Every structure is written in structure tokens, then in C-alpha cells.
Structure 1
Amino acid sequence: MVIDILRALFGTGGNVVRETAEVFRVNAEAADQRRVETQRAALDQMAAEFGAAGRSPFDRIIDGLNRIPRPAMALGTLALFVAAMVDPLWFGERMAGLALVPDPLWWLLGAIVSFYFGARYQVKGQEFQRSIAATLARAPQVVKSVAQLRGLRADSPGAADPGPDADTALRVLTPSDNPALAEWRATA
């Protein structure tokens, strides 16, 4: 009869208790396996899309061109500062030419630069917000850990308290023979 009950609970092929528990709580091992498989699939897809083997020369050229604007703008701005110091007249002539550019063209340039750099700024800003949220979520645990560590300091109140154990309290308060201390006292 006991064997029949165990067989009914645990079955011959599956575990009824485990299967019932998985209705209420996710199987952590299976969830981890699914997460690994999802990440592997994403990496495989990215490798197929961006891998060097499957890319045409056109794709490589376009990727190279996409990487030029930010460094070119930064280095170009630094070059303008150098040019202003090396040849102020040449620099002044170029800046006078820029003064002739109509306002709508400046607005168009501003819009292009804003869209180009704005998307990157938004992505980085969202990553920053996620990292702040993760840090704040860990804050209560950190405060608790710091409080526990401070409680372990030798000068914190009650650090050497033996608690309600009377035998320990008596042993702490009763002096004992310490041969090393006696030898030290004799030499001092």
C-alpha cells in the first residue's frame, strides 16, 4: 500500500510533486536554460548579421562611413583651435565665410547633428537610468550590510556582550593564568 501511495505521488516516469510545484513557482534550472538559449540565439543572429564572412564590401564601406562623423567633428574642432593659434588671418577669413551661411542652413545642420547624436545620447541615457535603478534596488541590502559590519567593530556597544549565558559571563570576568602575560610582566 505504501508503494502504491509513493507511486501515485511520484509516478513511474515523472514527479507529480515537482510538476505541481512548478505550477506555482518557475523551475529555476529550466528558466536559466531558456535564458542561456535565448542569449545564444541572439549572439548567433548577431554573428550572422555582423560577421565578416557574410558581409559584402558595400556593408563594410557603409559601416566605416558610419564611424567617421563623431571623430571627424571632434578632431575638426580641435584643428580649428590649432589653426586659430597658428594662422589667425587664415582662421579669420574662414570664420568670415561662415558668417555668410544663411540661418536655415544652420538650422538644417543643427537638426542633422541633433538627430545623429541625439539617438546615441538617448540610448546612453536609458542605460544610465537602468544602472541607477539597479544601484538603488541594492541600496537597502548595502545599508543592512554596513550596519552589520559596524556592529562587529570592537568599540561598538555590546560587541563583547556574552549574552544571557551565565557561564560565559563568569569565565570572561574571572581572571585566568596567562603564562605569556606573566613572562612579559617579568621582563618589563
Structure 2
Amino acid sequence: MGLIERLLGLVFGGGRNVVAETAEVFRVNAEAEAARNHDLRSSALQQFGQEFRIVRRSWFDRFMDALNRVPRPAMALGTLGLFVAAMVDPVWFAARMAGIALVPEPLWWLLGAIVSFYFGARHQAKGQEFRNQLAATMAAVPQVVQTVREVESLRHVTPEPVGQDDAQEDIPDAQFSDNPALADWSAKTKS
């Protein structure tokens, strides 16, 4: 008995498990790997949440955003206005187009670069804002799914109307047996 005890103490003694430690050299500990994966996913979600948190914007930010919305509609409506002006007053239109023909070519290149950068930056900013809104929506999905399941579970439930007298009759007297005051009240209301 002493020999077996010493042998088991050698293998499993001192709070160690030599068999498990040896097996972990050849195969990953599944429980430890699951814990590492959980920590990795949790920290990734936390970082993702901080990156895409919704920030309250000041009145100045909202004003600048509104001001940034003006150039595209102005250019589109201005171009349509030029077509209308050409039909309404061709002489006035010809004078304006002659003035535009005098603009030097480097100025046209500068205007093209400014417009390109403006629309490129605006496209990027709106794309990031869209991703922020998408992340906020995706974060709310589990709660919405749970709410839908709760509502769907009520689909076939039809409550029956209960009157005052019916409610008192439905309660069996056995429920009041451990409370003398309720048993007395139940007996008085039924008589």
C-alpha cells in the first residue's frame, strides 16, 4: 500500500498533475484555449465599441455639417440654371460663358483639385459615419431578437376575461391553509 501511495503521490502529488501537464505538451488544453479565445473576443469587441461610440456633436459641428451639404446641390442646381438661362436670355448667357473662357488653365486645374478633394473627404467622412451607425445598430441586434422572441411567444396566448367574482372563485382554499387571516377572508368573501 505504501508503494502505490508513493507512486500516486509522485505522479499526482504536490498539487500537480504530471499526466495532465505531459498531455498538454502534445495537445492544447481545451479549457485554457477557450478562456484565451474569450478574452481575445472580449477585448476586440471592447476596442470596436470604443472606436465606434456615438459622440454628441456640438452646434458648431452640426452647422458645419449643414454648410458642407450646400456645394453639391448648389452645383447641380447652378448647372440646371445655366441651361434655363441659355434658353431665356442667350445674350446674357453668351457674355458669361465668354468670361469663363478667359479663366487660365492652371486655375481650372486648381478648381478641379479642390472639388475632387472636397468630394473625396466628404465621401470618406460620410462612410465612417455610416459605419458608426451600422456598428450601433448591430450592437442592438441581440436585444431586438430577444424582444421579438418574447412577443412571438405571446402570439397564441389568449387571456380570458375574469370578473371580480370569478377571480375569487378560482383561488382554491388550500392556498390559504398556512395563513389564517387569508383563510378567514376567503371564507367571508365566498359566503
Q: Under TM normalisation by the shorter chain, which class is it?
A: 0.3 to 0.5
TM-score, normalization by structure 1 = 0.43
